[in-house]
Amino acid sequence: DAGRKLVVYLQYQVNPTNVGRRSQDVELYDGEVLLTEVDRTVTVFP
């Protein structure tokens, strides 16, 4: 519904084979129209 708030929580766990910094980019589209995007960098620890 238009004007309503949608909250989404994501949780995941991995056993990384290498450490370092990784970019994680997400884009949300309505059809072909870009609504919003989030660009972030995460640090992977062993």
Q: Return the structure tokens found at 39.
A: 């660009």
Question: Tokens 């970019």 correspond to what residue?
Answer: 23
3-state secondary structure at position 41: strand
> Residue 21's Cα: distance from chain center in Å?
15
What pTM was computed for the model? 0.51
Cα 31 to the chain's mean position, in Å? 19
pLDDT digits (tens, 9 = 90+) for 2-41: 889 989 998 887 777 788 998 999 999 999 999 999 999 9
In which domain, by residue range, is 1 found? 1-46
Query: Side chain identity at 8, as an amino acid letter?
Result: V
pLDDT of residue 21: 93
How many structural domains are present in the chain?
A: 1
